[in-house]
């Protein structure tokens, strides 16, 4: 045990009390910066550190301890928030999730836990500490990557200049290249720290663009809608206000976007938007770190780092995932469940409790990812028992049954069983699609693109796809070597089974009509990379060995850098921006994007539309009485808190009658002004403008 660890262990209770005192003082004196910084550190680490010590898991490595600590903290806040939400009325609390009752309840639980830890520390010997590599000073400059990212995003927001962000992306590519060609193997902590810094830089360079959420075609507007509903009411209602709406009901049933962000927002005094834009990406940064920790024992430090870089370099990680807040939290628990299952050194009692807590975390966070995890562990258990005919040491039947029972109890008895009903509807939808089995289009555009069956919009895009196809080919090669037992790397048996099942799942996505569209193929591929990414590095290693046995390391390094660096530069849209070609990156290219791409495809939300949506929320009786353009899917939902079911989509064929309203956001107004054959203003030419701020308008059709 180091001197710092000994000091923290000896004075743990005093440190917890100091955190709580500072948090209370900052709340009552309205010291916002202190409250946010100290409060965030307290909520993200302290509850989880207590659980880590109580479960006697504090002998893990540095980064493994950090990811377990954060995971335990997140599930603690979910469960504590759920308890006070459901039983607070017994104490006469009408607003149980308000800042004061929530703080008192959570801080009391934390204080009791800290007292227990301090008492146990005096009665028991300290646990033997994991000998971890010290983080060398040479790794500290890596912290410049997220700093460049934050400064670059600020400069883009204020001046539109993307130069610093371009430098940041090049710096990441240079760091990766140097690490791959480096002859001396870096330490375990160096690679883990490098992964954390790269992940944070990539996430922040997108998340910090604009003062509003970036939907990127994702679900963040609806997630913010249900979050703000819980936060404004200071209470979570398990049943959505429209029980028949399965889509909103599914979102509302997830504690990851209702109770959890409400805890952060109310205890930290942090605006809801910034909970999603700041706190969630910080937590999500640990997902690739956890994957590196998962893969490193099997493929080594360098190949583990390479595999993690592939996972982070894929576009979905730092764009679409930032619009899927519930999935960001769910993926943390997904990784923690895999780490827990495959850890043979963890005490049996602590292992089961950790598995149970992380299972609840995944179930509370994202229904689809929970179902995928259940498919993996159940299928792996069946394979172990029936085909291998030898029970798994890690994957006990009790673990599988616990997850199955917990998941279906929650999904059936919470939120009017809307999640379970949605699952039933989904299976019916897939069954109905089998009539199009021989129709390639039924698999969706993303599947066709992945198979090379879709047309490319530009020569640069063709090159980009070529590098993407190469990564897929090497994954297939690595998996083939695993199946044929030709791989020089020895994977844990359960991980090997998970990998084969992931390949089978990928085949199902390609063959079964409609399956890829259920969650979107890009998300599915991102999830499956959490298991399959190391096989890309394995495939490259095998290819290098085939090409040259004597200079295998050099050939391997050339293969890795020659494929993954261009892949990264295309995925970040760096190559498109430098070439002046059409780019989909908001941080790098929003200044030259078309309105259709920026506001339509990405769903960019501007201040004009937000102010207009707020005006609609305050002044328009909008229940089934209003039409909306693209703002219906972005600003009206996220910031006007207007339920989409009450709004009709405004099109060129819409017919407005007396007493009805129409909301036009920035994209409609400026696109139509720039074209001579606009349709929507002609549709509204007999209406009166009742609100306009230059970037959004509200029209009212007078009564005849």
Among 184-188, 316-320, 609-613, 691-695, the minimum mean pLDDT is found in 184-188
Which of 92, 123, 154 is at the close of a domain?
Answer: 123
Q: What is the reported pLDDT for 66?
A: 94
Whether residues 23 and 84 share a domain: the answer is: yes
* Mean pLDDT taken over the chain: 86
Whether residues 69 and 170 share a domain: the answer is: no
Whether residues 181 and 111 share a domain: the answer is: no
Which residues fall within 8 angstroms of residue 32, CB to CB, at 6 or more apart?
26, 269
Residue 688's alpha-carbon distances to 684, 691, 700, in angstroms, are 8, 9, 5
Compute the average pLDDT of residues 358-377: 93
Establish if 20 belongs to a structural domain: yes
Establish if 536 belongs to a structural domain: no
Establish if 506 belongs to a structural domain: no
Whether residues 651 and 681 share a domain: the answer is: yes
Q: What is the reported pLDDT for 91?
A: 84
Q: What is the reported pLDDT for 423?
A: 61
Compute the average pLDDT of residues 640-650: 90
Residue scoring higher pLDDT (90 or 326): 326
- pLDDT single digits (tens) 292-302: 999 999 999 99
Which of 563, 589, 615 is at the close of a domain?
Answer: 589
Establish if 169 belongs to a structural domain: yes
Contact yes or no for 324/219 (Cβ under 8 A): yes
Compute the average pLDDT of residues 365-378: 91
Whether residues 69 and 163 share a domain: the answer is: no
Whether residues 92 and 40 share a domain: the answer is: yes
Instruction: Report which listed range, 245-254, 271-280, 636-645, is most confident.
Output: 271-280
Whether residues 93 and 161 share a domain: the answer is: no
Establish if 425 belongs to a structural domain: no
- pLDDT single digits (tens) 317-346: 999 999 999 999 999 999 999 999 998 888
Rounded Cα gap, residues 406 and 119, in angstroms = 33
Phi, psi (degrees; rounded to nearest 5) at 112: -60, -45
- Residue 229 binned pLDDT confidence (cut-offs 50, 70, 90): very high
- Residue 686 binned pLDDT confidence (cut-offs 50, 70, 90): low
Which of 89, 123, 157 is at the close of a domain?
Answer: 123
Q: What is the reported pLDDT for 640?
A: 94
Whether residues 26 and 79 share a domain: the answer is: yes
Establish if 82 belongs to a structural domain: yes
Whether residues 94 and 13 share a domain: the answer is: yes
When divided into structural domains, the chain yields a total of 3
- pLDDT single digits (tens) 25-60: 999 998 999 999 999 999 999 999 999 999 988 778
Whether residues 91 and 194 share a domain: the answer is: no
Contact yes or no for 71/361 (Cβ under 8 A): yes
Establish if 342 belongs to a structural domain: no
Instruction: Report which listed range, 187-191, 397-401, 529-533, 643-647, is most confident.
Output: 529-533
Domain span holding position 185: 142-213+583-589
CA dihedral 152, 157, 160, 162 (to 10 degrees): 20
Question: What tokens were used for 660?
Answer: 């009805």
Whether residues 100 and 180 share a domain: the answer is: no
Contact yes or no for 380/398 (Cβ under 8 A): no
Q: What is the reported pLDDT for 426?
A: 56
Contact yes or no for 697/669 (Cβ under 8 A): yes
Among 264-273, 393-402, 565-574, the minimum mean pLDDT is found in 393-402
The yes-or-no verdict on residue 702 having pLDDT over 50 is yes
Task: Show contacts of 683-688: CB within 8 Å, 24+ apart.
Answer: 683/652, 683/654, 683/656, 684/656, 687/656, 687/662
- pLDDT single digits (tens) 479-525: 999 988 888 888 888 899 999 999 988 887 776 655 556 657 788 88
Among 169-173, 332-336, 388-392, the minimum mean pLDDT is found in 388-392
Contact yes or no for 648/627 (Cβ under 8 A): yes
Whether residues 165 and 101 share a domain: the answer is: no
- Residue 5 binned pLDDT confidence (cut-offs 50, 70, 90): low
Question: Residue with structure tokens 């009742």?
Answer: 690
Among 221-225, 390-394, 534-538, 614-618, the minimum mean pLDDT is found in 390-394
Please report, for the chain, how many H helices and E strands are present, in that order.
34, 5
- pLDDT single digits (tens) 563-578: 999 999 999 999 999 9
Q: What is the reported pLDDT for 621?
A: 85
- pLDDT single digits (tens) 405-461: 999 888 888 766 666 666 666 565 555 554 544 445 444 555 445 444 445 668 898
Residue scoring higher pLDDT (313 or 387): 313
Residue scoring higher pLDDT (550 or 236): 236
Establish if 454 belongs to a structural domain: no
Q: What is the reported pLDDT for 422?
A: 64
Question: For residue 661, what are the β-bridge partners?
Answer: 626, 700
């Amino acid at each position: 045990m180091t001197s710092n660890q000994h000091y923290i262990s000896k004075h743990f209770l005093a440190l917890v009390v100091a955190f709580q005192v500072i948090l209370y003082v900052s709340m009552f004196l309205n010291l916002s910066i202190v409250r946010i910084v100290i409060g965030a550190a307290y909520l993200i680490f302290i509850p989880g550190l207590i659980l880590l010590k109580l479960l006697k898991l504090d002998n893990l490595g540095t980064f493994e301890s950090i990811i377990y600590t954060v995971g335990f903290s997140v599930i603690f806040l979910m469960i504590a928030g759920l308890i006070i939400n459901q039983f607070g009325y017994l104490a006469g609390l009408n607003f149980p999730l308000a800042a004061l009752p929530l703080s008192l309840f959570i801080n009391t639980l934390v204080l009791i836990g800290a007292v227990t830890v301090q008492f146990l520390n005096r009665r028991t010997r300290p646990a033997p500490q994991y000998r971890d590599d010290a983080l060398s000073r040479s790794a500290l400059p890596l912290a410049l990557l997220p700093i460049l990212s934050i400064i670059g995003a600020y400069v883009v927001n204020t001046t539109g200049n993307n130069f610093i962000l371009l430098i940041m992306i090049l710096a990441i590519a240079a760091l990766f290249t140097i690490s791959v060609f480096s002859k001396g193997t870096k330490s375990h902590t160096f690679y883990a720290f490098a992964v954390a810094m790269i992940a944070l830089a990539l996430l922040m360079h997108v998340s910090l663009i604009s003062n509003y959420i970036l939907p990127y075609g994702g679900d963040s507007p609806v997630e913010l809608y249900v979050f703000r509903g819980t936060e404004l009411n200071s209470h979570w209602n398990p049943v959505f206000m429209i029980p028949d709406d399965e889509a909103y009901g599914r979102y509302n049933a997830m504690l990851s976007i209702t109770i959890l962000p409400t805890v952060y927002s109310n205890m930290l005094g942090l605006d809801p938007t910034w909970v999603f834009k700041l706190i969630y990406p910080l937590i999500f940064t640990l997902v690739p770190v956890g994957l590196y920790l998962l893969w490193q024992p099997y493929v080594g430090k360098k190949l583990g780092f390479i595999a993690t870089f592939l996972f982070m370099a894929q576009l979905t990680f730092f764009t679409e995932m930032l619009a899927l807040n519930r999935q960001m939290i769910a993926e943390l628990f997904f990784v923690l469940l895999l780490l827990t299952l495959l850890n043979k050194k963890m005490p049996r009692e602590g292992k089961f409790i950790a598995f149970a807590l992380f299972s609840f975390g995944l179930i509370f966070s994202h229904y689809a990812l929970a179902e995928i995890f259940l498919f993996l562990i159940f299928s792996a258990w069946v394979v172990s028992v029936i085909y291998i005919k030898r029970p798994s040491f890690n994957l006990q039947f009790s673990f599988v049954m616990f997850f199955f029972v917990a998941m279906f109890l929650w999904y059936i008895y919470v939120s009017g069983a809307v999640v379970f009903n949605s699952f039933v509807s989904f299976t019916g939808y897939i069954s109905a699609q089998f009539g199009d089995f021989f129709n390639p289009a039924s698999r969706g555009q993303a599947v066709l693109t992945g198979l090379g069956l879709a047309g490319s919009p530009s020569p640069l895009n063709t090159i980009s796809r070529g590098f993407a196809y190469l990564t897929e080919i090497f994954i297939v090669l690595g998996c083939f070597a695993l199946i044929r037992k030709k791989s020089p790397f020895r994977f844990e048996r359960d991980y090997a089974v998970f990998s084969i099942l992931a390949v089978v799942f990928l085949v199902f996505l390609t063959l079964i009509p409609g399956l890829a569209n259920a969650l979107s193929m890009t998300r599915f591929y991102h999830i499956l990379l959490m298991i399959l990414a190391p096989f890309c590095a394995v495939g490259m290693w095998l290819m290098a060995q085939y090409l040259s046995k004597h200079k295998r390391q050099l050939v391997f390094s050339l293969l890795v850098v020659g494929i993954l660096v261009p892949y990264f530069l295309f995925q970040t849209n760096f190559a498109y921006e430098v070439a002046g070609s059409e780019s989909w990156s908001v941080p790098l290219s929003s200044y030259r994007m078309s309105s259709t791409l920026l506001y339509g495809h990405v769903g960019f939300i501007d201040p004009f539309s937000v102010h207009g949506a707020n005006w609609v929320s305050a002044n328009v009786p909008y229940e089934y009485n209003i039409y909306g353009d693209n703002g219906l899917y972005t600003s009206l939902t996220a910031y006007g808190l207007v339920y989409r079911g009450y709004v009709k989509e405004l099109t060129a064929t819409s017919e407005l009658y007396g007493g009805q309203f129409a909301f036009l956001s920035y994209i409609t107004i400026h696109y139509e002004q720039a074209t001579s054959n606009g349709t929507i203003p002609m549709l509204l030419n007999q209406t009166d403008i009742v609100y306009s701020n230059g970037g959004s308008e509200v029209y009212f059709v007078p009564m005849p």
